[in-house]
Chain A
Amino acid sequence: MNKLELQKTANEVRKGIITAVHGAKAGHPGGSLSAADLFTYLYFEEMNVDPKDPKKADRDRFVLSKGHTAPGLYSTLANRGYFPVEDLPTLRHLGSYLQGHPCMQETPGVDMSSGSLGQGISAAVGMALAAKMDNKDYRVYTLLGDGEIQEGQVWEASMFAGHRKLDNLVVIVDNNGLQIDGKIDDVCSPYPIDKKFEAFNFHVINIDGNDFDQIDAAFKEARATKGMPTAIICKTVKGKGVSFMENSAGWHGKAPNDEEYAVAMADLTKIGEELGGAN
């Protein structure tokens, strides 16, 4: 996809996030919207996956370590063709295959159940290790929140990945700067994030995670990096694309009501029109 197509697709993913969370009357829109461009790039450009064969043996893997942003992953998978976009409003409903946090047994395309923060990265490391042990060339991607990296297990996993030189692993940090209790640097600062991953023997790339040119360059650089895992630290805007959700910790885990839903969808429709309409 070219940049404009990616932008248009990401906007559709954002609409799906808002629709899902509105339908659920609960969920996590802020961190789903901040990472929507990353989700889009991964599933529409970067990863070797096949929606018609979600468990294909040598596919690239993705682990949503920040599992609460399941609406972002689900909307991306739906738009990619894993399941109908029309099912997104069943998110979190009783009996739905779209659980509040990713469940690999329920949802096509979900490679690992996750949601308890700090655990997904370890599973991703295990997948990357399996590829190395079997001399397979699939790659493994995992997305973490910047609040999530306060969990100690993240650094256990990073130490191991660096030690084992897992160059088929890309750790992506969605650095939107906010967690439930406020700004990450007020709550318990994880900064400097890049220096920490460097210290754990990662190749580190800092980018604007809402800019497809920079995202594209970073993932190409990661692919070319040999002998060490890559961490891409992405500065993003929490709630990106929805005027009243942007840079607001309050929209970390809250669903829009009907009026807010209408405003949010109008915001996104306007962005879509500015991009020149549908793909």
Chain B
Amino acid sequence: MADVKKIATRESYGNALAECGADFPNLVVLDADLAGATKTGVFQKAFPDRHIDCGIAECNMTGIAAGLATCGKIPFVSSFAMFAAGRNFEQVRNSIGYPHLNVKIGATHAGITVGEDGATHQCNEDVALMRTVPGMTVVVPADDVEAKAAVRAAIEFEGPVYLRFGRAAVPVINDREDYKFELGKGVLLREGKDVTIIASGITVASALEAAQKLEADGISAEVINIHTIKPLDEELVVASAKKTGKVVTAEEHSVIGGLGSAVCDCLCEKCPTPVLKIGMQDVFGESGPAGALVEKYGLDGKGIYESVKKFV
């Protein structure tokens, strides 16, 4: 996929906010001294009066967003996933989740593709945390097209939404005329009959690559992109599990509490199926180039291919 266009979804986030700014006058963006990194600087430049830098104080930023939402604003709280979901967990739960306020959380630099900064900043637990908050929608876009569509959908949706974006450039895989984004609706990207690979975020492109390699070995893999982890598209997951009888989940996140767990929560009740969970196996990440880390932890096309091969 060397000649495929690559864009980091955090760039998409900043660009989408700037694009939506004119359409939604109540849209406001909050940052905690990371506007350059979260890419909300693009919005700040276009709408300086609606960008609020709170300084390095994420918990207060989250509470300010809650207060703004009670007055009719549509606030986006922007920070790294480690802080937006981790440090802020209780603020998100009590000040946004419990009163079900219309606050969106734009979490960038999620997962190990943070790269060189290392484990302290590589959040592999955010989806698990956010999934547990009642009424929270959790979205993990796969590429630039999906990330931009997700931002607009989150603005149009009434209620709290957690959006997860990455630091590293990822292939644009959804750049097609008929692409349509709907919150809570998974996307069947490739049909197959032997195994279902369910992916989200950066692993969607990896899963497609793995499916191609598996095909060469005579294994027919179905690939599903679950961009909305909560609410999960259970209908799509169950239908595919019934069809193939084997499910593999792949995510740039801990295998505890994320996409893999969400899929297992669904299947154990509605269609018990053997599941292999690819992701961070209850370990912290480490420093290194994003690509090398993705390879080391088996989240690239080759890694997923090898894991699926052993599983089927």
Residues of chain A having any CB pair with chain B under 8 Å: 61, 63, 103-105, 111-113, 115-116, 118-131, 133-134, 152-153, 156-157, 159-160, 163
Contact = CB atoms under 8 A, between A and B. Distances in A.
B71 A103 contact: no
Interface stretch (B89-97, B205-213, B258-266): B89-97
Contacts of B52: 129
Interface of B: prevailing SS: helix
Interface string B27-59: 010000000000000000000011010110101
Chain A CB within 10 Å, residue with most, of B60, B70, B72:
B60
B40 to A, nearest CB: 17
Nearest to B94: A116
Contacts of A153: 57, 59-60, 63, 91
A130 B71 contact: yes
Contact of A115 (B65, B68, B94): B94
A58 to B, nearest CB: 10
A231 B117 CA distance: 40
Given A104-B99, A130-B72, A156-B60, A113 B94 contact: yes
Interface in B59-88: 59-73, 75
Contact of A127 (B28, B60, B68): B68
B100 interface: yes
Contacts of B61: 122
A212 B28 CA distance: 40
B284 interface: no
A163 B64 CA distance: 14
A201 B59 CA distance: 20
A209 to B, nearest CB: 24
Contacts of A127: 67-68, 70-71
A131 B62 CA distance: 18
Given A105-B100, A111-B70, A112-B99, A157 B60 contact: yes
B55 A123 contact: no
A122 B99 contact: no
A123 to B, nearest CB: 4
Contact of A123 (B50, B67, B72): B67
A63 B70 CA distance: 11
Contact of A119 (B69, B71, B94, B100): B94
A159 B70 contact: no
A116 B71 contact: no
Given A113-B94, A116-B90, A156-B60, A103 B99 contact: yes
A152 B94 CA distance: 17
Given A111-B70, A119-B95, A126-B68, A157 B63 contact: yes
B49 A133 contact: yes
Contacts of A123: 63-64, 66-67, 70, 95
A152 B57 CA distance: 10
19 contacts: A61-B70, A112-B67, A113-B94, A113-B99, A116-B90, A119-B94, A123-B67, A125-B67, A126-B63, A126-B64, A127-B67, A127-B68, A130-B70, A130-B71, A153-B60, A156-B54, A156-B55, A156-B59, A160-B54
B157 interface: no
B74 to A, nearest CB: 11
Contacts of A120: 63
A130 B73 contact: yes
Contacts of B50: 133
Given A119-B63, A159-B55, A133 B99 contact: no
Contacts of B24: none
Contacts of B66: 112, 122-123, 126
Nearest to B57: A156
Contacts of A115: 94
A142 B3 CA distance: 56
B60 A122 contact: yes
B62 A104 contact: no
Nearest to A63: B67
Contact of B71 (A131, A159, A160): A131
A35 to B, nearest CB: 21
A123 B72 CA distance: 13
A61 B71 CA distance: 10
Contacts of A104: 70, 99
A122 B59 contact: yes
Contact of B98 (A113, A118, A122): A113
A143 to B, nearest CB: 15
Q: Name the 4 nearest CB pairs between A and B, nearest first.
A: A126-B67, A122-B63, A130-B71, A156-B60
Nearest to A57: B72
A125 to B, nearest CB: 5
A122 B95 contact: yes
A11 to B, nearest CB: 32
A160 B68 CA distance: 14
Interface in B254-281: none
A159 B72 CA distance: 24
Contacts of A61: 70
Contacts of B59: 118-119, 122, 152-153, 156
Nearest to B75: A126
Contact of B57 (A111, A119, A133, A159): A159
Contacts of B67: 63, 112, 122-130
A60 B52 CA distance: 23
